[in-house]
């Protein structure tokens, strides 16, 4: 019983620093001189707000797809290489993850702008185009920046699952006459699907709440729900609407977290001895 007392400080800290502010925010969205659902009605009936919510989901989904397509081959390669190269690759994956997101965004601006490295390579060095390509301050820039940020956690989650798969099963399939591709698609890939689901849901959850990257690398049509919330609190100072928008984002994230938890639970049952 006394061991349970050790939980009290942590629970009290979470209660006063997370739950209480969250409840106050939620109450603010329903109170404006009295109980009202006006803000939620406005959000659900105003085309501009619905478009921003859809834009947030679309950007999160596209960046998730791009992230997973890039992360899976890297995670698969990590389990194939030797320990020395694997350690070097993991270090190269982790170090960018620790880099401040503002530094990353401004670095991408330098690389992707009209006079940046990519356009200089395409126009001056390779001669593939006569005019610089718009790679920043639009949807392309947002997806590049978000994918860059989301890659490390996706790779590490996939690697942690793929390394538990016995590669001898794929070798046995090839020994029985299957091609390398068929052994991968019929044996290895299905066994890695729990990790794919877990990584996909986590990346999607992170993508829904992005603010800095769309704000710095996006254009006027790439306003996300997080950016709109910031606008309501800091510029228009409409705290009621901002609280309602925050609650909508919280509900979307909670649904994603619940799905992620279920995926992790299935994954735990799969890797359990």
Judgement on whether residues 259 and 190 belong to the same structural domain of the protein? yes
Is 41 domain-assigned? no
Judge whether 42 lies within some domain: no
Judgement on whether residues 11 and 96 belong to the same structural domain of the protein: no
The residue count of the chain comes to 273
Do 153 and 86 sit in the same domain of this protein?
Answer: yes
Q: How many domains does the chain have?
A: 2
Q: What Å distances lie between residue 213 and 69, 71, 239, CA to CA?
A: 20, 20, 24
Same-domain check for residues 88 and 23:
no
Instruction: Based on the fold, state whether residues 138 and 254 are members of the same structural domain.
Output: yes
Q: Torsion angle, CA of 155/160/166/171, rounded to 10 degrees?
A: 10
Percent of the chain whose pLDDT exceeds 70: 94
pTM: 0.84
Model confidence pLDDT, tens digit, residues 112-138: 888 888 888 888 777 777 888 888 898
Q: Clarify whether residues 146 and 187 are in a common domain.
A: yes
* CB atoms closer than 10 angstroms to residue 61: 15
Range of the structural domain that residue 5 is part of: 1-36
Q: Convert the pLDDT of each residue in 166-190 to its tens digit.
A: 888 888 888 888 888 888 888 888 8
Same domain, 196 and 71: yes
User: What's the CA gap between 270 and 191, in Å, rounded?
Assistant: 9
- Answer yes or no: do 3 and 134 share one domain: no
273: pLDDT confidence band, cut at 50, 70 and 90? Answer: very low
């Amino acid at each position: 019983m006394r061991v349970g007392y050790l939980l009290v400080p942590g629970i009290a800290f979470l209660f006063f620093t997370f739950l209480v502010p969250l409840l106050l925010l939620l109450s603010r969205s329903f109170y404006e001189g009295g109980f009202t659902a006006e803000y939620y009605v406005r959000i659900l009936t105003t085309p501009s707000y619905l478009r921003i919510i859809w834009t947030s989901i679309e950007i999160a989904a596209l960046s998730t797809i791009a992230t997973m397509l890039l992360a899976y081959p890297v995670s698969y390669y990590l389990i194939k290489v030797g320990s020395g190269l694997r350690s070097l690759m993991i270090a190269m994956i982790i170090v960018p993850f620790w880099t401040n997101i503002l530094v990353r965004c401004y670095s991408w601006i330098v690389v992707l702008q009209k006079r940046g490295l990519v356009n200089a390579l395409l126009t001056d060095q390779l001669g593939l185009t006569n005019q610089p390509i718009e790679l920043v301050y639009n949807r392309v820039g947002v997806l590049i920046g978000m994918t860059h940020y989301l890659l490390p956690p996706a790779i590490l989650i996939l690697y942690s699952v793929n390394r538990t798969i016995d590669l001898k099963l794929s070798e046995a399939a090839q020994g029985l006459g299957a091609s390398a591709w068929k052994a991968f698609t019929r044996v290895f890939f299905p066994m890695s699907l729990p990790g794919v689901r877990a990584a996909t849901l986590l990346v999607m959850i992170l993508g829904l709440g992005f603010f800095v990257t769309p704000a710095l690398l996006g254009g006027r049509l790439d306003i996300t729900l997080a950016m709109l919330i910031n606008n309501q609190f800091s510029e228009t100072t409409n705290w009621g609407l901002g609280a309602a928008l925050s609650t909508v984002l919280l509900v979307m994230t909670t649904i994603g977290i619940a799905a992620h938890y279920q995926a992790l639970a299935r994954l735990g049952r799969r890797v359990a001895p």
